[in-house]
Structure 1
Amino acid sequence: MSGTQRDAQLAQQVDRQSAKVLQWRFVMNLALMAFDALVFFCVNLGVMAMYKEMRVFTTRLQWNVTINPYLYAAVCAIIWVFCARVAGVYHRHVFADGYQLNVLLFKATCISWISICAVNYIMQTNISLADVTVTCLCVWVVEMIVRMIARMFLTVRHRKGEYAYPTVIVGSPEGIGQILKFLNQRKQLNYKPVRVCPIRVNPATGLIEADPDRNLLKAEVEESWGDFIQPITYGDDLAARIAQTGAQTVMVTDVLDRFSDNLSTFAVQMEALNLEIALITSALDIAEHATQMRNIQGMSIMTISLPQYSPASRIKKRIFDLVVSSIAIILSSPIMLIVALAIKLEDGGPVFYKQERIGLHGKPFYIHKFRSMRVDADKHLKEVLEANGQEMGARYKLKHDPRITKVGNFIRKTSLDELPQFFDVFTGSMSVVGPRPQRDFEVEEYDQVYATRLLVKPGITGPWQVSGRNDLNEEESRQLDVSYVQDWSVLGDVVYILRTIGIVVHPHGAY
């Protein structure tokens, strides 16, 4: 058999393997759409009966034409499913992410409410606004419950290795370890590592070659994944050998730089056998930017921009901060009073603690918290760090800081010490969601990429707070902060707030 025939057979094999995964995903989405339509249909009819609006008619063009209520409910159910699809509810990467999915369901609810109201207005039906509003809200609640049950089912299947894309991870041993750790924490991404391929750049030729350090690879894999994964050696017939493993996706972590000849050659080899390539890019990759092509006197110019940094988007974020901080201050006032009394009674010191931090565009400001340490804590920071074998820097960790008081230990783990920062948000020096504010000596250690976190206001909560806090290493924390600068949106901020509530209920990584 010739090499061309063998490659053709391998490509067909990958297609068959991909078809199986696509089949279950199609069936799952189709079943969800049908169920979603049924839920909306039943809830809508129930609400119509409650409001005694089962006799539906239209007065369009002065005609009093009766509409079958079941037909009306069915049309509304189709609108709901369409809106859910537009909102991204059925995307495979968000299906198992409870926080993000619930926000998208709410987004779909809002879109469908507007759409159904528009249809009722155009058709001039007798269906009341209250009917549509109650129906949409009830469907949102029911859908969150349904998705929670579906996620439980899918999680069990994922743990058994089902409903996932067999994946080969290509990169340096360190890069492979980072991605394995990431995939191990985020099962909803549906990538199942079946092989790892360690590579490096030959310093003499600039070409890609196999990385021979198998001991480092083994250590990275076992630490990040907890189990052995068979390595595959990089070579000319790599694509064919990957296809023979049954893999469908090749995930590139590092070494193969974007827009490089090495990556272009690698991609052609993989795509020739119908293998999907998943490329892990920099947090500041321009792929997330809005692009516009213009031709000026024969010269093509591409302009790039981030829409969320437009004046309109900044105004929306400021309004969002004002609304959320105002509500939070009102609702948390009794709690803040109790915390203030507890701090005062413990040692008689001041209730609040303020410290200079670096904010938007490097401008200093004072952050306010409930005091969780003894009064002279700052004076003893250096000696405490030295006693624990650490130095002053951007990422020092103290699991058992002797300066923390008993009340302080509790309010830190429950994040109650952060409540006064809502006043900082209200006055405009902070945002509800954003990178955590840092001190001047920490900012001095920023490199060019990490300094981009100063392009947004620091936040009370954000990616660091909801992703493990002090349990994260320096690289993970930096990646989260820079990614937020690139991708922030008001809807994304809502997701972070919901996740923060979960962290408060089940705290981890806080010390």
Structure 2
Amino acid sequence: MTVDSGRDPSTADDLGGTAPHRPHRVGAVGAAHRRHVQRIAIADFVILVTAVVASEYLWLGTDADTIEPQFGIGYTKFGVLLAFVWWFGLRLGATRSRNVLGSSDEYQRIVRVTVTTFGVLAIIALLLELNLSRGYLAVAFPLGLVGLLFSRRTWRKVRERQFSRGQNVKRVLVVGLPESANEIAGWFTRHAHAGLDVTGVWRPGGHAGLEGLRIGERFIPAISGAESLQSALKLAAADMVVVSSTDELGHHGLRDLTWDLEAAGIDLMLSPNLVAVAGSRISMRTVAGMPFVHVKKPQYAEAGNWPKLVFDRIGAAVILLLASPVFLVTALCVKLTSPGPIFYRQERVGRNGDPFPMIKFRSMRENADAELRELLEAQGTADAPLFKVEDDPRITKIGQIIRRYSIDELPQLINVLRGEMSLVGPRPQREGEVALYRHSDWRRLRVRPGMTGLWQVSGRSNLTWEEAIQLDMHYVENWSLMGDLQILARTLKAVLAKDGAV
């Protein structure tokens, strides 16, 4: 939940007659954001005009402007008008608003506005019997949509790089009880690309118990000497307040805080303390005039239903067909370069704890499993999860190559076709690793393990055990088919970058 001020912060009244922070800095951050929005708006218009003009010449040729639709203007003028209506629809759809830019909702709104614009145009053309070229519109639609999405992605990366360098970031005062305040402060600090720089944590009423937070080499001070919010805002030089828990403020205190911060031009955000819950599962719901955060049920049941099964098997068949030359060449190289079978089968734990033989191209010398315990004991990790050997001497020369590009995992497509695995899912683990699960970790076995997943696109073998489990749990609880497509796209990027490959 975010409360934005519509007033100019440079002229806003302060809290309680005392300047709560440096107003000129809020103005500077606000001005930088406005410039960013203006650049996006200009880029949107240029892309849309380019898309409609390009579709005109691609479909209708150089004589397109001599063809007049029934409403009496040429296609060039009509295209510019369409681009303006499309661009204005992006404005009405709030695709460039402060709370939408940088969120997953930004792309969804762009798609929604685009579909609505062309849907309304199609209805108008049908009712008025306008002589519009369907092919022209069919070309303009994907050109403009892809251009918009690519542009917004580029602007997002530019903004994140600025934030990571400490440019135009908002200074944040986190308000709440010790545990929740420290968790929120740590989250923002570890995700610097969000553009929120925590400069202090404060507990209302001057209560004790809130200590500073150290993350890496950085220390975020606890503002313990401030008896009022005004003093805490001064000390933190804050542009935004994030309330991590409302227990000590109460309903009336929170309402007063909203009005006070609005008068000072300071944004307010309330954290529902749902860090591991995807935004698609969260919505606001009003009951008897009181707002509540509604959290949808975990999505692990949907991850086992027929849409994902159909997607997995069709996708696996297509990939296997396209990759068949690589598959055959790799099989030949493995057979000719070292003694032993082409494929390596290892028992892994699948959905609901059922074991299955996971298939890979053999990348190690024959009988390598017999040496694992000795190697793990030698490096002191025999009792640790994620049974990985550093600088593993068992890997063959061809094995190093196929592992670098994850080619050794291609035979797992056979597991997918057999229904034992999915294209995307939690990391398939061994029985010894499953034995180390805590009680809640067993929930990751509610879905089929995947050839790739959040664990792979977020660092692959560079992740710790706790991080890998956390990512798998996030996937299980927040599954969506669109999320699977995004992970597959990120996997291709990770493989090409060879990031964390083993």
- Same-fold call, TM > 0.5? yes
1:449 and 1:10, CA in 2 relative to 1: closer, same or farther beyond 3 A?
farther
CA contact (8 A) 1:56 1:125 kept: no
CA contact (8 A) 1:10 1:243 kept: no
* Partner residue in 2 for 1:283: 276
Partner AA of 1:281 in structure 2: L
* Partner residue in 2 for 1:320: 311
**Residue 7 (str. 1) matches residue 2 (str. 2):** no
* Partner residue in 1 for 2:45: 37
CA contact (8 A) 2:447 2:476 kept: yes
Note the C-alpha offset of 1:103. Answer: 9.0
1:369 and 1:116, CA in 2 relative to 1: closer, same or farther beyond 3 A?
farther
* Partner residue in 1 for 2:83: 77
CA contact (8 A) 1:432 1:459 kept: yes
Partner AA of 1:469 in structure 2: R
* Partner residue in 1 for 2:144: 139
Decide which moves more: 501-510 or 44-53.
44-53
Note the C-alpha offset of 1:389. Answer: 0.6
Partner AA of 2:403 in structure 1: R
CA contact (8 A) 2:358 2:415 kept: yes
CA contact (8 A) 1:84 1:90 kept: yes
In 1, distance between residues paired with 2:409 and 2:108?
Answer: 24
Note the C-alpha offset of 1:73. Answer: 2.1
* Partner residue in 1 for 2:59: 51
Q: For 1:395, which of 382, 386, 392 is the aligned residue?
A: 386
Note the C-alpha offset of 1:123. Answer: 4.5
Note the C-alpha offset of 1:316. Answer: 2.9
In 2, distance between residues paired with 1:168 and 1:80?
Answer: 39
* Partner residue in 2 for 1:416: 407
Structure 2: runs of 5 or more not aligned: 1-12
CA contact (8 A) 1:431 1:460 kept: yes
Decide which moves more: 404-413 or 462-471.
404-413
Partner AA of 1:323 in structure 2: I
In 1, distance between residues paired with 2:252 and 2:216?
Answer: 27
* Partner residue in 1 for 2:224: 234
User: How large is the Cα RMSD of the aligned pairs?
Assistant: 4.3
1:373 and 1:33, CA in 2 relative to 1: closer, same or farther beyond 3 A?
same
Q: For 1:458, which of 441, 449, 467 is the aligned residue?
A: 449
In 2, distance between residues paired with 1:477 and 1:311?
Answer: 22
**Residue 221 (str. 1) matches residue 216 (str. 2):** yes
Q: Deviations over 1:105-142 (max 9, x none)?
A: 77876666656555544544333333223223333454
Note the C-alpha offset of 1:416. Answer: 1.2
Partner AA of 2:365 in structure 1: R
Partner of 2:222, secondary structure, is coil
Partner of 1:402, secondary structure, is coil
Q: How does 1:171-210 map to 2 (within 5 A)?
A: 175=183, 179=187, 182-184=190-192, 187=193, 189-193=194-198, 195-197=199-201, 209-210=209-210
Partner AA of 1:221 in structure 2: G
In 2, distance between residues paired with 1:417 and 1:68?
Answer: 57
1:460 and 1:86, CA in 2 relative to 1: closer, same or farther beyond 3 A?
farther
* Partner residue in 2 for 1:28: 36
CA contact (8 A) 1:56 1:69 kept: yes
Q: For 2:335, which of 337, 340, 344 is the aligned residue?
A: 344
In 1, distance between residues paired with 2:450 and 2:96?
Answer: 31
Note the C-alpha offset of 1:72. Answer: 3.2
* Partner residue in 2 for 1:61: none
* Partner residue in 2 for 1:332: 323
**Residue 501 (str. 1) matches residue 480 (str. 2):** no
Q: Deviations over 1:251-274 (max 9, x none)?
A: 57xxx6x67558989967965545
Note the C-alpha offset of 1:444. Answer: 2.9
Note the C-alpha offset of 1:387. Answer: 0.8
In 1, distance between residues paired with 2:14 and 2:37?
Answer: 34
In 2, distance between residues paired with 1:490 and 1:26?
Answer: 35
Q: For 2:436, which of 445, 454, 460 is the aligned residue?
A: 445
**Residue 66 (str. 1) matches residue 57 (str. 2):** no
* Partner residue in 1 for 2:371: 380
Partner of 2:323, secondary structure, is helix
CA contact (8 A) 2:303 2:479 kept: no
1:89 and 1:116, CA in 2 relative to 1: closer, same or farther beyond 3 A?
same
In 2, distance between residues paired with 1:488 and 1:321?
Answer: 14
In 1, distance between residues paired with 2:190 and 2:151?
Answer: 27
Partner AA of 1:411 in structure 2: I
Note the C-alpha offset of 1:485. Answer: 1.8
Structure 1: runs of 5 or more not aligned: 59-63, 200-206, 223-227, 296-300
CA contact (8 A) 1:14 1:243 kept: no
In 2, distance between residues paired with 1:450 and 1:230?
Answer: 32
In 2, distance between residues paired with 1:264 and 1:375?
Answer: 67
* Partner residue in 1 for 2:239: 248
CA contact (8 A) 1:198 1:210 kept: yes
CA contact (8 A) 2:350 2:445 kept: yes
CA contact (8 A) 2:348 2:428 kept: yes
1:146 and 1:72, CA in 2 relative to 1: closer, same or farther beyond 3 A?
same
**What is the aligned length?**
471
**Residue 163 (str. 1) matches residue 168 (str. 2):** yes
Q: Deviations over 1:283-330 (max 9, x none)?
A: 2599925798999xxxxx999644856769933323322332222111
Partner AA of 2:48 in structure 1: F
Q: For 2:159, which of 131, 154, 160 is the aligned residue?
A: 154
* Partner residue in 2 for 1:368: 359
CA contact (8 A) 2:20 2:233 kept: no
Note the C-alpha offset of 1:488. Answer: 2.1
Note the C-alpha offset of 1:161. Answer: 2.4
Note the C-alpha offset of 1:209. Answer: 0.9
Partner of 2:209, secondary structure, is strand
Q: Deviations over 1:445-484 (max 9, x none)?
A: 3233322222222211111101112222233222222221
Note the C-alpha offset of 1:406. Answer: 2.1
**Residue 427 (str. 1) matches residue 418 (str. 2):** yes
1:108 and 1:302, CA in 2 relative to 1: closer, same or farther beyond 3 A?
closer
Note the C-alpha offset of 1:486. Answer: 2.4
Larger RCO, structures 1/2 (Cα 8 Å, 6+ apart):
2
CA contact (8 A) 2:59 2:139 kept: no
Q: Give the TM-score taking structure 1 as reference length.
A: 0.76
Note the C-alpha offset of 1:496. Answer: 1.1
Partner AA of 1:209 in structure 2: G
Partner AA of 2:78 in structure 1: Y
**Residue 405 (str. 1) matches residue 396 (str. 2):** yes
In 2, distance between residues paired with 1:47 and 1:285?
Answer: 38
Partner AA of 2:224 in structure 1: Y
Note the C-alpha offset of 1:166. Answer: 1.5
In 2, distance between residues paired with 1:320 and 1:87?
Answer: 31
